[in-house]
């Protein structure tokens, strides 16, 4: 799952910021400092390019309320970083730079075309562009891509990025440890990746995997020259192949990018080199970021998760500010996993009782309402996952307050006519999730389901509590709050880690429902084996339907983010895969 970085804000500061919202410009001020053009309109950048321009020059300043997990393309899992690294990297594949559904297409980036898969589905071959250069002028070769993949095997050095290559590529004995241990032996020692010539790279898989083009669109295939690799320090200056390169980086404070003179627009049509400088200031106060955005001192909120409550009030109450904002689907679903192994929730009717009794209105309100929070979710996948179909098995949309009668009926079928007791876990440092848990507790109480609330810090939620099946069993945890976005926008990319039985692990588990339904597992397996796009994508809604029939997940909210679009920016649009503005194409007036 691409991680949506949520920063714990001191609650007191948030309260003060809310109080100050009234002090702000609720009148006609458009903010954005020196903007001279009229705002394009609310949600304009969701479907079209706002301020299209090829004007060069200026500085784009990003403000970030956290720091990147890593600026090393091989070691990052934050959604906004996958967006941002396109400014200085070119992975084999990427997402087409365009608004609307067009932006969900995976297209070649460093590669000349999509991967060519062998008949048995076990081999994927890519040819790379012969004239792409690193920032020092040396030509990128297929060996640089292979080396980038090799690095991901050393989880000690790079623990934060996804681990699809060790999972999918053919294993070797002894297991490949990455290129650092015994460098003379292991450098270029990954047998599952072959480079027959300087422009060809061949991946040998352990099992057929039809989504492999998506896997190589993860920044981990951005080439790394072995002689320039500095291991854990590479994050301080990754070698650029994109339109910009690192000029300076003060770790977790300030990053400055300047144009990469060896980059050519002809080899990288999904990115632009317009601004003469890009900066990212990290670990800023989130409310400060919003205010600086509105004042025109900042160009973009890097996290791309929307403005805070105080600025939200300003933006929504001012027509001119609202006209410079967008409210796209973020690609996230906030949900509660229902533990399928724990009594009495191991009985499907008890889980269905929870599905019916839950108030979706309360869930959405807890997340900030329909504009800033999101829409009522009736399926696990949000609409911007390829193959999604909307359905409503438990009347979440038609009866958003919950269907108490249907819930009580299910409780009878479950053998618990008077309800039952169970525990709810949630991340206590996420106020919206706390409110959602309290809302669910209240709505379940209406049908006699008594719940106890157990809040834990985000940092240890997966490792010690909700993600530890043994802990859940010992403490009678039947419901766990969570959120999920796809690593790539199709059904497999969304579902595997949250519903496949193979994904259940003793710690750090993300299949919180501990669902091990052979039908679901089989559908995911078929999806992995089907190369035909239309057939493969049809499995998405089938999996979704089966998970909902299993009542393993209570979908709550399809997340939305209220993004403020600085009027000074050009080429602004929401890339639907990221659910935020496409950072690779921005310019400034």
Structure tokens at 92: 């084999």
Among 77, 165, 367, 578, binds other proteins (CB under 8 A): 77
Task: Give the phi and the psi of residue 237 in degrees, each rounded to 5.
Answer: -160, 80
Cβ proximity to other proteins: between 218 and 444 the closer is 218
Q: Which positions from 478 through 507 interact with other proteins, judged by CB under 8 A? A: 497, 503, 505-507
Spatial distance between the Cα atoms of 226 and 275, rounded to a whole number of angstroms = 30
Residue among 55, 59, 191, 252 that touches other proteins (CB under 8 A): 252
Cα separation, 98 vs 92, whole angstroms: 18
Only one of the segments 381-389, 416-424, 439-447, 457-465 lies at the binding site for other proteins (rule: CB under 8 A); that segment is: 457-465
- Comparing CB distances to other proteins, the nearer of 161 and 208 is 161
User: Considering the complex, what minimum distance in angstroms separates the CB of residue 188 from other proteins?
Assistant: 14
Q: Which listed residue (213, 270, 281, 541) binds other proteins by CB under 8 A?
A: 281
The answer to whether residue 20 forms part of the interface with other proteins (CB under 8 A) is yes
435 near other proteins, judged by CB under 8 A = no
- How many residues interact with other proteins (rule CB under 8 A)? 69
- Please, which residue, 117 or 311, has the CB nearer to other proteins? 311
- Indicate whether 154 belongs to the interface with other proteins (CB under 8 A): yes
Is residue 456 a contact point for other proteins (CB under 8 A)? Answer: no
Among 90, 280, 284, 440, binds other proteins (CB under 8 A): 284
- Shortest distance, position 251 Cβ to other proteins, whole Å: 6
Q: Name the E strands within 41-136.
A: 59-63, 93-95, 106-108, 116-117, 123-127
Which residue number, 298 or 572, has a Cβ lying nearer to other proteins? 298
10 Å CB burial of residue 415 (0-12, 13-18, 19+) is exposed
Q: Does 156 bind other proteins (CB under 8 A)?
A: yes
Instruction: Assess 8 for contact with other proteins (CB under 8 A).
Output: yes
Q: Look at residues 177, 218, 217, 209 and name the one whose alpha carbon lies nearest to residue 77.
A: 218
Examine residue 12 and tell whether it contacts other proteins (CB under 8 A): yes
453 is a contact residue toward other proteins (CB under 8 A): no
- For 170-180, letters b (16+ CB in 10 Å) and e give eeeeeebbbbb
Q: Does 248 bind other proteins (CB under 8 A)?
A: no
Contact region with other proteins (CB under 8 A), list: 135-143, 276-284, 324-332, 369-377 = 276-284
Select the span of 22-30, 49-57, 409-417, 563-571 touching other proteins (CB under 8 A).
22-30
Q: Which of residues 177-216 bind other proteins (CB under 8 A)?
A: 180, 183
Among the listed residues 287, 378, 451, 530, the single contact to other proteins using CB under 8 A: 287
Residue 434 in the binding site for other proteins (CB under 8 A):
no
Is residue 38 part of the contact set for other proteins (CB under 8 A)?
no
Residue 110: Cβ-neighbour burial (10 angstroms; 0-12, 13-18, 19+)? buried
Question: Do 210 and 387 form a contact (C-beta atoms < 8 A)?
Answer: no
Of the pair 265, 295, the CB lying nearest other proteins is at 295
What is d(CA 138, CA 155) in angstroms, rounded to the nearest whole number?
A: 28
326 contacts 563 by C-beta, under 8 angstroms: yes
**Which member of 38, 442, 459, 529 binds other proteins (CB under 8 A)?**
459
**Rg of the chain in Å (alpha carbons):** 24
Cβ of 367: how many Cβ atoms within 10 Å?
24
For 77, the token pair is 């899992």
Residue ranges of alpha helices (H) inside 358-418 are 360-366, 369-372, 404-414
Interacting residue with other proteins among 130, 159, 269, 415 (CB under 8 A): 159
At its nearest, how many Å lie between other proteins and the CB of residue 206?
14
Closer by beta carbon to other proteins, 2 or else 127: 2
**Which of 229, 326, 433, 544 forms a contact with other proteins (CB under 8 A)?**
229
19 CB contacts (<8 Å, ≥6 apart)? none
115 binds other proteins (CB under 8 A): no
23 binds other proteins (CB under 8 A): yes
Please answer whether residues 68 and 254 qualify as being in contact, where contact means their C-beta atoms are separated by less than 8 angstroms: no
User: Does residue 294 sit in helix, strand or coil?
Assistant: helix
H/E stretch holding 452 reads strand 450-456
The answer to whether residue 463 forms part of the interface with other proteins (CB under 8 A) is yes
x/- track of binding to other proteins for residues 296-335 (CB under 8 A): -x--------------------------------------
> From CA 61, how far away is CA 537, in angstroms rounded?
38
253 binds other proteins (CB under 8 A): yes
| 172 contacts other proteins (rule: CB under 8 A) | no
Q: How far is the CB of 212 from other proteins (least distance, A)?
A: 18
Q: Does 24 bind other proteins (CB under 8 A)?
A: yes
Q: At what angle do helices 11-21 and 286-295 cross, to 10 degrees?
A: 30
Distances (CA, A) of 411 to 94, 220, 356, 404: 48, 48, 10, 10
Based on the shown chain and the rule CB under 8 A, indicate whether residue 464 belongs to the binding site for other proteins: yes
CA distance 212 to 205: 9
DSSP structure string for 209-269 = -TTHHHHTTSGGGS---GGG--GGGGGGSPPP-SSEEEEEEETTTEEEEEE-TT--GGG-T
Question: Which residues make up the interface to other proteins (CB under 8 A)?
Answer: 1, 3, 7-8, 10, 12-13, 16-17, 19-20, 23-25, 67, 69-70, 77, 154-157, 159-163, 166-167, 175, 180, 183, 229-235, 250-253, 281, 283-285, 287-288, 291-292, 294-295, 297, 457, 459-460, 462-464, 467-468, 497, 503, 505-508, 510
């Amino acid at each position: 799952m691409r991680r949506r970085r949520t920063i714990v804000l001191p609650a007191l500061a948030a309260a003060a910021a809310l109080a100050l919202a009234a002090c702000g410009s609720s009148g006609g001020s458009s903010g954005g400092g020196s903007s001279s053009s009229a705002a394009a309109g609310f949600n304009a950048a969701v479907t079209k390019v706002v301020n299209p321009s090829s004007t060069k020059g200026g500085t784009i300043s990003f403000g970030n309320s956290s720091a990147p997990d890593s600026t090393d393309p091989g070691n990052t899992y934050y959604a906004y970083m996958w967006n941002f690294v396109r400014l200085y990297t070119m992975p084999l594949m990427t997402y087409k730079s365009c608004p609307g559904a067009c932006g969900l297409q995976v297209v070649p980036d460093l590669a000349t075309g999509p991967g060519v898969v062998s008949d048995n589905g076990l081999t994927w071959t890519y040819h790379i562009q012969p004239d792409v250069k690193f920032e020092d002028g040396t030509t990128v070769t297929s060996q640089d891509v292979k080396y980038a993949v090799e690095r991901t095997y050393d989880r000690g050095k790079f623990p934060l990025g996804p681990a699809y290559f060790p999972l999918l590529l053919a294993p070797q004995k002894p297991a490949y440890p990455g290129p650092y241990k015994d460098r003379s032996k292991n450098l270029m020692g990954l047998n599952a990746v072959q480079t027959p010539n300087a422009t060809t790279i061949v991946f040998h898989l352990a099992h057929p995997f039809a989504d492999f083009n998506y896997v190589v669109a993860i920044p981990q295939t951005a080439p790394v020259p072995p002689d320039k690799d500095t291991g854990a320090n590479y994050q301080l200056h990754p070698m650029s192949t994109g339109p910009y390169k690192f000029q300076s980086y003060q770790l977790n404070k300030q990053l400055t990018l300047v144009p990469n003179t060896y980059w050519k627009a002809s080899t990288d049509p999904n990115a632009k080199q317009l601004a003469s400088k890009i900066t990212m200031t990290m670990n800023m106060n989130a409310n400060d970021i919003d205010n600086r955005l509105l004042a025109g001192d900042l160009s973009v909120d890097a996290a791309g998760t929307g403005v805070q409550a105080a600025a939200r009030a300003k933006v929504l109450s001012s027509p001119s500010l609202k006209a410079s904002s967008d409210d796209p689907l973020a690609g996230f679903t906030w949900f509660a996993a229902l533990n399928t192994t724990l009594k009495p929730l191991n009985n499907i009717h008890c889980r269905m009782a929870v599905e019916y009794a839950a108030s979706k209105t309360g869930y959405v309100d807890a997340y900030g309402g329909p504009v800033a929070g999101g829409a009522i979710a009736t399926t696990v996948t949000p609409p911007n996952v390829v193959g999604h179909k909307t359905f409503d098995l438990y009347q979440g949309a038609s009866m958003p307050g919950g269907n108490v009668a249907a819930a009580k009926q299910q409780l009878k079928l479950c053998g618990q006519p008077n309800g039952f007791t169970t525990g709810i876990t949630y991340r206590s440092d996420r106020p919206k999730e706390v409110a959602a848990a309290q809302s669910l507790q209240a709505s379940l109480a209406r049908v006699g389901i008594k719940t106890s609330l157990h809040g834990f810090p985000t940092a240890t939620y997966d490792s010690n509590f909700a993600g530890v099946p043994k802990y859940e069993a010992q403490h009678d945890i039947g419901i766990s709050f969570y959120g999920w976005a796809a690593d790539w926008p199709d059904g497999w990319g969304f579902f595997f880690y949250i519903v496949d039985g193979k994904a259940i692990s003793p710690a750090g588990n993300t299949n919180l429902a501990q669902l091990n339904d052979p039908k679901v597992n089989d559908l995911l397996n078929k999806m992995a084996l089907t190369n035909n796009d239309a057939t493969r994508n049809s499995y998405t809604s089938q999996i979704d339907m089966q998970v909902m029939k299993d009542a393993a997940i209570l979908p709550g909210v399809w997340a939305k983010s209220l993004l403020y679009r600085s009027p000074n920016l050009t080429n602004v649009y929401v890339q639907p895969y990221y659910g935020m503005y496409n950072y690779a194409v921005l310019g400034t007036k």
